[in-house]
Amino acid sequence: MKIAVDAMGGDFAPAAVVAGAVDAARHLQGIERLVLVGDETAVRRELAAQRGRIPSNVEICHAAEAIGMEEPPVQAVRRKKDSSINRAIDLVKNGAAHGMISAGNTGAVVVSATLKLRTLAGIDRPAIATVMPTPRKPFVLIDAGANTDCSARMLVQFAMMGTLYAREILGCANPLIGLMSVGTEDSKGNETTKEAFKLLQESPMLNFRGNIEGHDLFEGEIDVAVCDGFVGNVILKTSESVAHAVGHWIKQEFRRNPVRLAGTVLLSGALRSMRAKMNPEMYGGAPLLGANGVCIISHGASSPRAIYHAIRVARDSVKLNLNEHIIRAVGESHVS
Amino acid sequence: MKIAVDAMGGDFAPAAVVAGAVDAARHLQGIERLVLVGDETAVRRELAAQRGRIPSNVEICHAAEAIGMEEPPVQAVRRKKDSSINRAIDLVKNGAAHGMISAGNTGAVVVSATLKLRTLAGIDRPAIATVMPTPRKPFVLIDAGANTDCSARMLVQFAMMGTLYAREILGCANPLIGLMSVGTEDSKGNETTKEAFKLLQESPMLNFRGNIEGHDLFEGEIDVAVCDGFVGNVILKTSESVAHAVGHWIKQEFRRNPVRLAGTVLLSGALRSMRAKMNPEMYGGAPLLGANGVCIISHGASSPRAIYHAIRVARDSVKLNLNEHIIRAVGESHVS
């Protein structure tokens, strides 16, 4: 198995990406080769900075350009033909790699994958599936940010892909699907979700619970939360923001009260273990499901550890043949 | 000043509503009369259950019907002409009350207010403005759930109403506005927010910061977050859900570790004071801005204390002449 790694993507690239990739090449079983895609000089410099011998299964594929985190995706993908994102996707397209990962400009990865790889049969647009932790069990959020404007049909396709992903990755036998809305009654929602609600109800292959609200997300009941990429992105980032604010608040409360001050050390320890458990790095990257090829998107602020886990997710996605499962499931349904 | 109170609205109605209203009639300055709107027998029973003498400034307006929390709003408002929500709105419409509050079916209050009171000149649809706490300072979220489908023009009107509300209620001289999106760059967003971005930039009266993400909400920089009611409702409920989950997680961490176990009491105290500070009850109800009359929406799970504060917000909204401010500001702008 060969995985392409966008060496220039992410806030700490290429250093963090190269470090994580070298670690994966050394320790992740089942990966034959890792291809670092990016500026050869820069990548070589980072490789030289690694401790110990560079594993022989790491190679470099030169790409002269890099797409910045803030560049408008469509224009950047079209203009920078020789960017690391485009080159990594090309490797997947040509069969030179079984999958790719990037911590770079998410929009650019989505656009490049959609243009070059196309979507799987029956899928209108690919969607990002993210695993989110709750105190009881994790759930899959789809779409976490690939498509800001979605049709009802796309939402149903997301539900189908999310179901397959939850089955393979979270091990749920019959994943329970919730449609993000503003109330649990059938009549609640916007025009698109109301239409999607009917279509989801009519899909015999899906275990559809109905509408869910923000309240229900972290209760640990549903396995898949379906929404458009705008709402998904808001959920993802608001959750991170609130979790951070609450930790900060509790610390403030401890510091303010002399009796509680004594417990600050205990609190810091508890916050640390909670963060470790909530850590998105552990879940590695989020797959762009529905693209005709394995593409894993990692957080822009990815550490070497996050890159390592993103490569693990890429390996697992290839091994599990996720795309074949999706094609078969969509073919058997009537949503395409 | 006379305020109408929907006595039948909310999960704990009429008991919690009557108790909160009696408290407000006793202790809130500036309120001449409170009108409890609802089933006369039920309301009298609750009044009799109150300790002490019923204040003489409390009266009852009989309404034979009540709209349930789960009923489809449009149909319920049309069919149940003699419902407590419709009757309370009628009192505002006829000038018999200066404002109304309800902890009942939010959609029904929005529909009844829009149909009976109409909107202020230059406002297409009313929106719910909610004050949300952050570790640094609170901000106004508008629309928190009145309109699931919005035009760009409506978002600009929300920005204007949110600005006036933040100025009057939070005391910000020049409230900083953020448009909820999926990235801070101008090009990010869905079709509607991209159009709204341009319109907001062209509004000289608004202090527009640009796009914001979920990350930015609780950082304490912006004063007004603008979004459609679908996204606003997701933000509101996801935030509550995450805050709850994080508190639960930290408690679990304390219980799991024998050293930390000793600190559980300290933690519980800190969580309690944090909750008191975050308590939405303290902010009372959320006004339905843009309706031609003062309507305050309180949480469905409102306690007597929450009802008390919702009545306080109604009193302040009437006193501040918020609607006049909105009419003037919209008249001077070019968004209507």
**Chain A contact for B213 (CB, 8 A cutoff):** yes
How many CA within 13 A on the CB side of residue B29? 0
Q: How far is CA A18 from the centre of its chain?
A: 20
Tokens 């019907």 belong to residue: B65
**Long-range contact set of residues B198-203: C-beta below 8 Å, sequence gap at least 24:** B199/B152, B199/B153, B199/B155, B199/B156, B199/B335, B200/B155, B200/B156, B200/B159, B200/B226, B203/B156, B203/B159, B203/B160, B203/B333, B203/B334, B203/B335
B224: nearest Cα among B296, B174, B282: B174
**Looking at A32-36, A67-71, B182-186, which range is the least confident one?**
B182-186
Radius of gyration of chain A from its Cα atoms, rounded to whole angstroms? 21
For chain A, the first-to-last Cα distance in angstroms comes to 31
pLDDT, residue A94, reads 97
- On chain A, the residues whose CB falls within 8 A of the CB of B262 are 266
pLDDT in tens, A123-182: 999 999 999 988 888 999 999 999 999 999 999 999 999 999 999 888 999 999 999 999
- On chain A, the residues whose CB falls within 8 A of the CB of B108 are none
User: So what's the ipTM on this one?
Assistant: 0.89
pLDDT, residue B59, reads 96
Chain B: residue nearest A218 by CA?
B241
pLDDT, residue B295, reads 97
Rounded to an integer, the average pLDDT of A317-334 is 87
* Per-residue pLDDT band at A117 (split at 50, 70, 90): very high
Shortest distance between the Cα of A323 and any Cα of chain B, in A, equals 27
Q: Which amino acid is at B79?
A: R
Q: Which residues on adjacent β-strands are paired with residue A157?
A: none
Is pLDDT larger for residue A30 or for residue A243? A30
A122: nearest Cα among A166, A145, A162, A153: A153
Query: What is the overall mean pLDDT for chain A?
Result: 91
In this complex, which of A214, A230, A269 lies closest to B238 when CB atoms are compared? Answer: A214
In this complex, which of B135, B180, B237 lies closest to A245 when CB atoms are compared? Answer: B135
Indicate yes or no: CB of A214 within 8 angstroms of CB of B240: yes
From the number of C-beta atoms within 10 Å of its C-beta (0-12, 13-18, 19+), residue B41 rates as exposed
**pLDDT one digit per residue (tens) for chain B, 336 residues:** 999 999 999 999 999 999 999 999 999 999 999 999 999 999 999 999 998 888 999 999 999 999 999 899 999 999 999 999 999 999 999 999 999 999 999 999 999 999 999 999 999 999 999 999 888 889 999 999 999 999 999 999 999 999 999 998 889 999 999 999 998 888 889 999 999 999 999 998 899 999 999 989 988 899 999 999 999 999 999 998 888 888 888 888 888 777 777 777 777 877 777 777 666 555 678 999 999 999 999 988 889 999 999 999 999 999 999 999 999 888 887 654
Chain A: residue nearest B255 by CA?
A270
Shortest distance between the Cα of B138 and any Cα of chain A, in A, equals 12
pLDDT, residue B282, reads 56
Report the alpha-carbon distance of residue A25 to residue A13 in Å, rounded.
18
Shortest distance between the Cα of A220 and any Cα of chain B, in A, equals 10
From the number of C-beta atoms within 10 Å of its C-beta (0-12, 13-18, 19+), residue B198 rates as exposed
pLDDT, residue B222, reads 96
B154: nearest Cα among B127, B115, B191: B127
* For residue A295, pLDDT beyond 80: yes
Report the alpha-carbon distance of residue A52 to residue A49 in Å, rounded.
9
Indicate yes or no: CB of B270 within 8 angstroms of CB of A248: no
- Strand A127-132 to A286-289 pairing: antiparallel
Share of chain A above pLDDT 90, in %: 72
Q: What is the largest CA-CA distance in chain B?
A: 65
pLDDT, residue A334, reads 61
* For residue A78, pLDDT beyond 80: yes
Report the alpha-carbon distance of residue A1 to residue A315 in Å, rounded.
8
* For residue A276, pLDDT beyond 80: no
Q: In what order do the strands lie in the sheet with B139-142?
A: B58-62, B33-38, B2-6, B99-102, B294-297, B286-289, B127-132, B139-142, B224-226, B176-180, B207-212
* Per-residue pLDDT band at A304 (split at 50, 70, 90): very high
Tokens 């909820």 belong to residue: B180
* Per-residue pLDDT band at A251 (split at 50, 70, 90): confident
Shortest distance between the Cα of B196 and any Cα of chain A, in A, equals 15
How many CA within 13 A on the CB side of residue B335? 32
pLDDT in tens, A173-232: 999 999 999 988 888 899 999 999 999 999 988 999 999 999 899 888 999 999 999 999
A105, A181, A230, A252: best to mutate for the B interface, most B CBs within 10 A: A230
Chain B: residue nearest A238 by CA?
B214
* Per-residue pLDDT band at A89 (split at 50, 70, 90): very high
Report the alpha-carbon distance of residue A4 to residue B245 in Å, rounded.
37
